[in-house]
Structure 1
Amino acid sequence: MKKKILITGAAGFLGSHLCDKFIQEGYKVIGMDNLITGDRKNIEHLFKNEDFEFYHHDVSTFVHVAGSLDYILHFASPASPIDYLKIPIQTLKVGSLGTHNLLGLAKEKNARILIASTSEVYGDPLVHPQNEDYYGNVNTIGPRGVYDEAKRFQESITMAYHRYHGLETRIVRIFNTYGPRMRLNDGRVIPAFIGQALRGEDLTVFGDGSQTRSFCYVDDQVDGIYRLLLSDYSHPVNIGNPNEITIKDFAEEIIKLTGTQQKIVYKPLPEDDPMQRQPDITRAKEILGWEPKVTRSEGMQKTYDYFRNLSQEELHRSEHKDFSKHIKK
């Protein structure tokens, strides 16, 4: 009998790659997504696969899956600033109510559950690089707090279920991840820069560009998540690439990669935008035997090739998805 896994946020960038991974590893995969920020096109290639099912559903309401279930991956959540600032209530609900529903389902099915947390739990960090023992520096009432606190609550309730109910839980803290299927112009650094370059626009850097990020290619991220799910470790684990770069230097890399002649323009730094992001991956190395393999130059070439092959309609599509039908007045 093939093992069965439920993946929420299945039509999103990372969720869709996880669906591919578990299909390749011989699992039966149930994908679930309400398609607020996800895109059905990311998983259409799986629709004819007998080991894949898809449910258009909002996990913040309730979650029911018939039959047995071995694993759950909870990846349902807006992940880009543009998205979670547009739908803050939905972001908080999927992190709280959605997580509660899925933990209850895991308890009912006696399934192991992995929760997708984020480096944003560290806020604008006072410790560098960030390790899993650092508690973070988060503005709970700032505009980014809806995402940061949703993820911090996810971790708290997950550990409560682990301690009180003996549930098998895993927590991955995901650092900046990139690759094919990212939504162009969703507000994250890499698709924003590449989209601007391909349209012949100047590259927008917020602040003076001295803030840093560490970018992990999606294949490495998926491998780390897969290893963590199958491990015996229940506390949070950073999965990311520790190769740190300033945003200004990264913008210059994009201009060189795309062969364009754009210049860099500077705009004010958004409120609470973290100045440093670099994962300490000691725990992942020791417990999972994991570390990233794909270099930034290799991963960026693959990502650029993907975006370059998009249609002109996709390339010039507005960066703002229509969330009006999802927003409660």
Structure 2
Amino acid sequence: MKRVLITGGAGFLGSHLCDRFIKEGYHVIAMDNLITGDMRNIEHLFKLPNFEFYHHDVSKFIHVPGELDYILHFASPASPIDYLKIPIQTLKVGSLGIHNCLGLARVKKARVLIASTSEVYGDPNVHPQNEDYWGNVNPVGPRGVYDEAKRFQEAMTMAYHTYHGLETRIVRIFNTYGPRMRLNDGRVLPAFIGQALRGEDLTVFGDGSQTRSFCYVDDLVEGIYRLLLSDYAYPVNVGNPAEITIKEFGEEIIKLTGTSQKLVFKPLPTDDPKQRRPDITRAQELLGWEPKVSREEGLKITYDFFKSLPEEELYAAAYNREFVKK
């Protein structure tokens, strides 16, 4: 049985990756310090003999006994609220964290896949964004701690690949959604759905003309899995190229939830990207991958998940407080 370490394993994406690798017959070791992760995301796996959980911060030395075949580094705050609240930890997990993971991989002779992001493109001057575009990033702006952490992470990974001959893979993830997202993480989809469920108007920043491209989590996990098992070491965009404006997206959420709220507009945050759409030609050609789940289908599943959450969690999110499960 092959063994895989997934850092950030109790997070939104990490927990779905744990599920996928369990399904594929792997022995899965999830590692998370639970700053933004949630044990509820993986509690269904604890009864399985081929699942382990390590409560650990990957910014500190990592020790995992036994052999490892793969390491997936998904530990990182991933939303504006998180990385503005804990900027130093965000930089550490993208620097010290990746260094520790790469060092462990070298010792274990394991293949590493790192979770990069479309944020490496910053507020892009090229549209759609392909992997050859170097980006337009403000390193000292409020988003710089996240953007530069991911850019450094890519550079460190490629250094280990070229200097040590380590087997590495880099996935650049575009906006992803699905069950297990946190209501108070500041991203547009949970923010809109949370406001709709509380009977509030939906907050649109700017005039709503900025665009995003939303990929359902199952599609993303499939792309990541294929990339890990491929022989390609350079960055690959994985996301859904179906682009929509934030204003149109808010209107879709109002229609989905059947509420009577309206959109309200507030100033656009500093360095907020105006356009975001992946060019997935490389993923199509190298991996035979493209998204399958329509936004209509994915949003229905995600909305049903949020509706099932305790009411106190819904209102804790309104005040950006963490919900404590009793």
Mapping 1:1-329, distance limit 5 Å: 2-318=1-317, 320-321=320-321
Can you list the C-alpha shifts for 1:31-53, whole angstroms capped at 9, x where unaligned? 00000000010000001110000
4+ residue runs of structure 1 moved beyond 4 angstroms?
none
Deviations 1:177-236 (A, max 9, x none): 000000012100100000000000000000000000000000000000000000000000
Deviation, 1:317, is 1.4
1:320 Cα deviation from its structure 2 partner: 2.9
Q: Please list every run of 5 or more consecutive structure 1 residues that lacks an aligned counterpart in the other structure.
A: 323-329
Separation in structure 2 between the aligned mates of residue 168 and residue 230 of structure 1, nearest angstrom: 11
Counterpart-to-counterpart distance in 1, 2:278 and 2:64: 35
Distance in 1, Cα, partners of 2:321 & 2:8: 16
Could you tell me the TM-score, scaled by structure 2's length? 0.98
CA distance in 1, matches of 2:101, 2:178: 27
Query: Equivalents in 1 of 2:68, 2:184: separation in Å?
Result: 36
Q: Tell me, what secondary structure is at the counterpart of 1:186?
A: coil
Residue 309 of structure 1 deviates from its aligned partner by 1.1
What letter matches 1:265 in structure 2?
Answer: V
Distance (Å, rounded) in 2 between the aligned partners of 1:238 and 1:253: 26
Q: Give the counterpart letter for 2:35 in structure 1.
A: I
* 2:67 alignment partner, SS class: coil
Q: Percent identity?
A: 80
Q: CA deviation at 1:157?
A: 0.3
Q: Is the 8 A contact 2:184 2:321 kept in 1?
A: no
Residue type at the aligned position of 2:139: T
1:118-164 per-residue CA deviation (whole Å, 9 max, x = no partner) reads: 00000000000000000000000001000000000000000000000
- Per the normalisation by structure 1, the TM-score is 0.97
Residues 65-96 of structure 1 show CA distances to partners (whole Å, capped at 9, x for unaligned) of 00100000000000010000000000000000
What is the alpha-carbon distance in structure 1 between the residues aligned to residue 18 and residue 82 of structure 2? 22
RMSD: 0.7
Distance in 1, Cα, partners of 2:288 & 2:274: 29
Q: How many Å separate the matches in 1 of 2:185 and 2:87?
A: 16
Amino acid at match of 1:121: V
User: Per-residue displacement from partner, 1:251-272 (whole Å, max 9, x unpaired)?
Assistant: 0000000000001000000000
Query: SS of 1:317's equivalent?
Result: helix
Q: Which amino acid aligns with 1:196?
A: Q
Partner Cα separation in structure 1 for residue 205 and residue 160 of structure 2: 40
